[in-house]
Each structure stands twice: as C-alpha cells, then as structure tokens.
Amino acid sequence: MAFFSDALSRIKPSATIAVTQKARDLKAAGRDVISLSVGEPDFDTPENIKQAGIEAIRRGETKYPPVSGITPLREAIARKFKRENNLDYKPAQTIVATGGKQILFNAFMATLNAGDEVIVPAPYWVSYPEMVSVCGGTPVFAMTRLEESFKLTAAELERVITPRTKWLVLNSPSNPSGAAYSHAEMKALTDVLVRHPHVWVLTDDMYEHLVYGDFKFVTPAEVEPALYERTLTMNGVSKAYAMTGWRIGYAAGPLALVKAMDTLQGQQTSGACTIAQWASVEALDGTQEHLPRFRKAFEERRDLVVSMLNQARGLTCPTPEGAFYVYPSCAGTIGKTAPSGHVIRSDEDFVTELLEAEGIAVVHGSAFGLGPNFRLSYATSNELLEEAGRRIQRFCGSLR
C-alpha cells in the first residue's frame, strides 16, 4: 500500500519558488547574483498599516477570529468593492483567508468534482493548474500570443469552453505577463461568458492598483452585471500595500459559495491572523497616498527594463499594462551556443545558462505554460535593474 496520496502525484513544485531558492543558495555560496524571480514588492509596508497592527496587539486583538474574518475587515472589504469596483456585496458575502492562494484553493475544493474543467489562460501563474489538479479538476489551457500582448481573445475562450467547463480563471493584470484587459477587451470576454451560463468566473485582481499610464482597471462582474451571481472576485493586500508577509487575501461572491468556502476553511486553518486582519482594515480604509509613489516607481522600472531587453540580441519584450513583470520572448536565442558550450534548446536552457554565466535569476516561460519566454520581476531598485540589463545584453551578445 502506497504511503503518499495520489493527489501529490498530480502537482509539481512551484518553479518560481525553486528558482528563487537556487538564487539564494548561489548567493550564500558567494556568487554575485541578482534575483529577478520573486513576485514581491521591494517597498516596506506603509507606516499607518504597521501602526494599526501594533495597536491591535496592544489592544489584545490576539484571540481566535471568526473563520471568515473579523467583522470590521469584512465591512471594509464590502466598502472597497463598492468604492473601487462598483460592486455591491454584503459583508456576509465576503471571506478572508491566509493569502490569495487559500481563497483560490478553497473555491476549487468547494466546487470541483472529477471531470470538471477549469479554463486557465496561458501564460498563467504557476499555482492555478496545480490547485485545479489537486482538487480533482482538469485544467484546460487557453493559449495567448505575444502579438496580442498575451491576452485571451473571445475566439479562443469560445473554443475551449465545453459542457464540462466549471470555471474560467482570469488574472488581470497578469502574473507572469503584466497584461491587463481594457473595458472593451473584458467586455468581449464577458459577452462569451453570458452565452455559457454554466461557466463561473474566478477573477484574480491581486495587481489591481498596479497599472500604468492612463490604463483603467476593470473586473468582470463590474463590466457585465449579469455575471454577478457566478463570479468570485478575489483580491488581497500583498502587492498594492507591500504586505506579502502579512498573508491576507479576500474575496466576495454568491453567499452559497462563500458559506461553502467557510466550511472548508473551518476545518483547515480557521480564521487568518487577527493582527494582520486589523492591519488590513487600515490598508483598505486608510490613506492610499503611497499608491501613486508605488506606481511611479514601478512604471519607471518597467520602461527601463523593456528598453534594455529590447536592445538585447535575440529578445523581444512587449510593454505590459500592469503588475511588476515583463515576459520577453527569447525565441531569437534558441539554437545558439552559450559561453559554457551548451546549446540553448529551450527557455529553460536560456535561464539556466543566464544564471550560470551572469548571475541573473529569472523564471523560464515554460513553467507558466507558454514559451520560449521568461518572466522577469522588476520589483527591485533601478540600479540593480540597470546592472541586470547590462548583464543580459552581454549574455545575449555572447551567444554564437
């Protein structure tokens, strides 16, 4: 009798975590490594949010919280959705979890049966298909193209919907590509979904506030109110508020789904950390004055990185609308020989040789379901990004 479960055989380790750990190990061994593999803002949590957490400790807010979240936070979440997304949710329709990952996992675990299909546009965040698989569902990949800025088209969405489709996962702005859907682009997708009433939408809006230029963020149920009753709108405080370690994600949706997720969470982790929840109340309700500063810095970094990558021989990098990633194609390097003497036959070979030759850690695109590309996170200083750009240019110039 096997000791480990069959579920474990259906998932792979996170490629982003693996690359980040490899970079850490090389640094510990004395190598000069610039890691551009981690999806984490380099800014500190704003002071007013930290202070709210400290005050919560001093008030003794350190007991078990309700499974779905403390009432003040659920009320703040409902206000946020109304204020920023024109979505009316009652606090009872909201749920708080230990990060966005738990929201997604609970939603899939509460709804998927064997044979159920979940549409995942590629490139995708590495955890989506693994979560679907471990929860017994089948991920179905909808392909995007660099020429269309890695955005799902209505035609491709229509093509992959079947009678067994239960969910579409939609992440805008996207990890890994940074692509975000305009109102018109989102409307084209929601028009398809309206014609298929058995398909629900799980929208991952984690990078909502990190959009650049004149781009205006929209979310599916806002664009098409007819989808309200079959949409779970997920968000969190990790990216916009530089609160990755506080581990708070949240969502709102139909009451029956939220109750089902609450039942699961009650047997998993119970409620998320009370101190982090009180800090998140301040994040959502308090001043948002840090956001323009975050956006300005990230936009400058995006423009710097896109420019330097497009000057590297064999690379093509589109300009994304949001998040803090770029997703360049390295198709022009395939078949060339690296300084080590190894031939680059895939994007995984490209990032491996780049790390060995120049100490630059990025994540290969095939881990996100679409290559030959790689994901580079520009959530670090301009100085490091300039140095990384020079090294990448030098590496690409060395290929023969």
Domain boundary pick from 243, 269, 285: 285
Q: Decide if 237 is inside a domain.
A: yes
Domain boundary pick from 285, 305, 334: 285
CATH code of residue 121: 3.40.640.10
Angle at 377 between CA 285 and CA 323, to 5 degrees: 40
Is the domain of 161 the same as that of 244? yes
**Mean pLDDT value of segment 188-202:** 98
Residue 206: the pLDDT is 98
Residue 12: the pLDDT is 78
pLDDT value at 388 more than 90: yes
pLDDT digits (tens, 9 = 90+) for 326-359: 999 999 999 999 999 999 999 999 999 999 999 9
Residue 248: the pLDDT is 98
Q: Decide if 94 is inside a domain.
A: yes
CATH code of residue 37: 3.90.1150.10
Domain boundary pick from 260, 285, 310: 285
Q: Decide if 33 is inside a domain.
A: yes
Is the domain of 167 the same as that of 117? yes
Is the domain of 91 the same as that of 227? yes
Q: Decide if 1 is inside a domain.
A: no
Is the domain of 129 the same as that of 255? yes
DSSP 211: B
Is the domain of 150 the same as that of 278? yes
pLDDT digits (tens, 9 = 90+) for 231-246: 999 999 999 999 999 9
Q: How far apart are CA 142 and CA 300, in angstroms?
A: 31
**Helix (H) and strand (E) counts in the chain:** 14, 12
Is the domain of 279 the same as that of 353? no
Is the domain of 38 the same as that of 166? no
Is the domain of 38 the same as that of 99? no
Per the structure, how many domains does the chain have? 2
Q: Decide if 308 is inside a domain.
A: yes
Give the structural domain span for 93: 50-285
Is the domain of 22 the same as that of 171? no
Is the domain of 65 the same as that of 23? no
Mode of pairing for the β-strands spanning 325-326 and 374-377:
antiparallel
Whole-prediction pTM: 0.95
Is the domain of 79 the same as that of 218? yes
98, 269 contact by CB (below 8 A): yes
pLDDT digits (tens, 9 = 90+) for 45-76: 999 999 999 999 999 999 999 999 999 999 99
Is the domain of 167 the same as that of 316? no
- In terms of C-beta density within 10 A (0-12 exposed, 13-18 middle, 19 or more buried), how is residue 191 classed? middle
pLDDT digits (tens, 9 = 90+) for 299-328: 999 999 999 999 999 999 999 999 999 999
Residue 10: the pLDDT is 81
pLDDT digits (tens, 9 = 90+) for 214-234: 999 999 999 999 999 999 999
Average per-residue pLDDT in the chain? 96
